[in-house]
Amino acid sequence: MLYIGRGAENGDVVRVIDGRFERVSYHFLGTEDPRLFQLDSGEIRVFWTSWEFSKYLGEGSRIISGVLHVNTSTIYVDHLFQSPFNRFLEKNWVVFQVPGDPLRIVYEWHSLRIGTFNHSVDIDKIQLDSTIATPLIFKHARGSTNGCFRKGELWFLIHSTTWHKGPGPIYYHRIAVLNATTLDLKRYTYPFKLESQEGSVEFSLGMTIDAKDRLSIAYSVFDSSSVIRRIPMWKVEALMTKR
């Protein structure tokens, strides 16, 4: 097992049990950016990215997936999905589910490439099955959060980085909204920052839309503090551009 952190409520250590790759446990070194997603069935899955260590092995980015058992503070790792093209600079894949449909993944945003998880006893693969045109401004966009279903739409927080203001990257964010039936890009916001314009690293892994139609974004600042920001949906809509 691997120890990855502490429980949010009582401080218990979260245990990660390797149920798929016990004989090659090095596969899980270098994992980062865990994202939670609750399926229609109620199952809560965790998705990690593996980049640095897989690059050392000569492999592209990978996604490692496991099931979170809340009552026992245990994550049971069961799948490892390799890059469809063995690329290294694609690490922020995100997942979504339209109610009643299988779990799907956004692989990249320009063009918008969407796939499904194909897993068996012997091998895990990402099967890309949709390619949809997006504006050029999405060329450097990467997934931040898994998709939220809302009124026939899928809402994502995405990000891009620039180095024009100093030695470190500056993170900018957008909300991207897809049609849940066709998966076409319906609209998106102007780029924005969650903190001051001078802040550099802001990175989000979680976004939800609550019963009061408020958008909640969980993010870190300078990789050293955690913040949750709630935004009324009308303010988000005011940031939208028209395609």
pLDDT tens, position by position, 134-189: 999 999 999 999 999 999 999 999 999 887 666 667 889 999 999 999 999 999 99
Per residue in 59-102, pLDDT tens? Answer: 778 888 889 998 888 888 888 888 888 877 666 899 999 999 99
Of 2-6, 93-97, 99-103, 202-206, the range with the lowest mean pLDDT is: 2-6
**Is 58 contained in some domain?**
no
Which pTM does this prediction carry? Answer: 0.84
Report the number of distinct structural domains present in the chain. Answer: 1
Write out the two tokens for 201: 């690293």
> Is residue 213 a part of any domain in this protein?
yes
Q: Residues 214-235: pLDDT tens digits? A: 999 999 888 778 889 999 999 9
- Averaged pLDDT score across all residues of the chain: 81
Residue 120 counted as domain residue: no
Residue 10 located in a structural domain: no
- Predicted local confidence at residue 104, as pLDDT: 96
- Measured CA to CA in angstroms, residue 184 lies from 54, 76, 109 at distances of 32, 34, 11
> Could you list the residue range(s) of the whole structural domain that residue 189 is in?
136-243
Q: State how far Cα 191 lies from the chain centre.
A: 18
Q: Does the pLDDT at position 38 exceed 60?
A: yes
In a domain, 203, yes or no: yes
Position 59 in a domain? no
